[in-house]
Amino acid sequence: MADQTKERIVEAACRTLVKHGYHQTSMKDIAAEAGLAPGLAHYYFETKEDLLVAAIEHACRPVVEVWEQAGINLTGPLPEDADPLAFGRAGFELAKLELKNYSGLFLLIFDMFGVGLHNPKIAAAVQAFISERRAFVGRIAQGVVAGMRERPAASVEAIAAAIWGSLHGIYLQKLLDPGFDADAAIDAMSEMTMAFVTSPGTGTRMEA
């Protein structure tokens, strides 16, 4: 019974945060959304920050589940027999679907990015989110880079940071402007990445 109401509170927090954002959600709002007494949110979470951290972690769960359903182990290594290049391509497709299906999560996450800039507790939660997902991109990049004819100058970590960054920079544009064509931007990023991966070599071109 206790765990149930705790989860009800966290879920209500997710809903209100997605709908109204960090500024405009009070503890009372969250309790009301959950259909509970105002004081109860503080019974389960000492501070508002603690509840928000729990909400972030809760909101991320469904996305991870989608990945795992697609046969991707988020924290473990990639399947040995898979073609890394195909994996990379699929990753970009997955990114497009993610944005479409879980825009609420990203609304919450980008809101929290902003909060985290000046709030250590939220920053820690948000960085966990970043690290996990960027490392996953890095694992795909690792496989792809290993198959390249010439090793790129950039490290795998740097490539992963660039690709993760590009996807989230694209997400940001979409969230701020619903008319933005995120699919086209992700396709462009995918095309650029694939050209990079299959290019004969870097730094061997004529100077103008």
Partner DNA sequence: ACCGTTTGATTGAATAGCCAATCATTGATT
Partner DNA sequence: AATCAATGATTGGCTATTCAATCAAACGGT
| CB atoms closer than 10 angstroms to residue 33 | 20
Choose the one of its own copies, DNA, none that binds residue 193, judging by a C-beta under 5 to 8 angstroms depending on kind: its own copies
- DSSP state, 70? T
Using rule CB under 8 A, residue 130 touches its own copies = yes
Count of Cβ atoms closer than 10 Å to residue 10 Cβ: 23
**Contact 63/97 with Cβ under 8 angstroms?**
no
Q: Is 36 in the site for its own copies (CB under 8 A)?
A: no
Length of the chain: 208
42 binds, among DNA, its own copies, none (CB under 5 to 8 A by kind): DNA
Q: Which of 55, 63, 115, 137 binds its own copies (CB under 8 A)?
A: 115
- Contacts of DNA in 112-151 (CB under 7 A): none
Q: How far is CA 75 from CA 21, 116, 162, 175, in A?
A: 30, 24, 20, 27
- Cα separation, 168 vs 163, in Å, equals 9
Task: Give the per-residue contact string, 33-52, with DNA (x = CB under 7 A; - = no).
Answer: ---xxxxxxxx--xxxx---
Binding region for its own copies (CB under 8 A): 20-24, 83, 85-86, 107, 110-119, 123, 126-127, 130, 134, 152-155, 157-159, 161-170, 172-173, 175-177, 180-181, 184-189, 191-196, 198-199, 202-203, 205-206, 208
